[in-house]
Amino acid sequence: MNELAIIGGTGALDLFPGGDERVLETDWGDPSANVVRVRLGQYKAWFLARHGRPHRLPPHRIDYRANIDGLRRLGVKRVVAINAVGAVDPGLAPGSLVIPDQLVDYTWGRAHTFSDDGRHPLEHVEFAKPFEGPLRSALLAAGQAADIGLVDGGCIAVTQGPRLETAAEIRRLARDGCDLVGMTAMPEVSLAREAGIDYASLCVVANPGAGLEEEPISLEEIHQVLSSAMISVQDLLAHLSL
């Protein structure tokens, strides 16, 4: 079985109506939540709430190993990750949908491999193109089919959170070549690579990075942008052809 799963974070919790639930079995403890069976267009997929149901887990407290291992044991071979992000590139307006192709990891202290307990073989996965695979191409094709403008490519900086970044940190990320900043892509994507899962990220730009505008970042405005953008995300996924 070549199952698809959606991992959703901020703004995506209520995107898909609840269906049948399944408890995930893992080698790493409890995942963030039970998976829910949802319909995407003409086919079904699993949905996993990255931050739990209700939304409660900060990015650095998510058990990414349990989430990915649970999906792998369920038979999932493909994951679309919905990531709410900030814009480092001032040309990316709030509400933009970006399919990144690169990342820089600024996190620390997160369990980022299955290969550190002696029970699992040591893996040195190839990771030069962290999001490359058929699923990424399928997302871009779905954007064309749905007439939804997608930004093809971009580098996402993954920071520790849960606080937002300082203006100086955003300037540093720009100097490092990053276009976006989020808190949850790592180690989720690298663990998926270890597990043999094709993983693509769909980034929803929720706000400009700190210091890119004169006004402070408003969490209320972030939620408003995400609520509006998720309509396009739902339409995009309904046009996904696998």
116: pLDDT strictly greater than 90: no
Domain count of the chain?
1
| Nearest residue to 190 (alpha-carbon basis) of 111, 76, 109 | 111
Helix (H, G, I), strand (E, B) or coil at 186: coil
Mean pLDDT: which of 13-22, 25-34, 143-152, 201-210 is highest?
143-152
Q: Report the CATH number that the domain containing residue 122 is assigned in CATH.
A: 3.40.50.1580
Instruction: Check residue 210 and give its pLDDT.
Output: 77
- Tens digit of each residue's pLDDT (9 = 90 or more) over 155-179: 999 999 999 999 999 999 999 999 9
220: pLDDT strictly greater than 90: no
- C-alpha dihedral sign at 94, 197, 106, 101: negative
- Tens digit of each residue's pLDDT (9 = 90 or more) over 173-200: 999 999 999 999 999 999 999 999 999 9
User: What is the dihedral angle through the alpha carbons of 76, 79, 82, 86, rounded to the nearest 10 degrees?
Assistant: 140
Contact 142, 47 (CB under 8 A): no
208-228 mean pLDDT? 80
Mean confidence (pLDDT) of the chain: 91
Instruction: Check residue 2 and give its pLDDT.
Output: 65
- Tens digit of each residue's pLDDT (9 = 90 or more) over 51-83: 998 889 999 999 999 999 999 999 999 999 999
Q: Supply 194's token pair.
A: 């270890």
Confidence band of 11 (pLDDT split at 50, 70, 90): low
Q: Which residue has the higher pLDDT, 5 or 227?
A: 5
Element (H, E) at 205: strand 198-208
Domain holding 206, by residue range, is 3-238
Q: Which residue has the higher pLDDT, 141 or 41?
A: 141
Query: What is the distance between the alpha carbons of residues 70 and 22, in angstroms, rounded to a whole number?
Result: 10
Confidence band of 13 (pLDDT split at 50, 70, 90): low
1: pLDDT strictly greater than 60: no
Instruction: Check residue 27 and give its pLDDT.
Output: 87
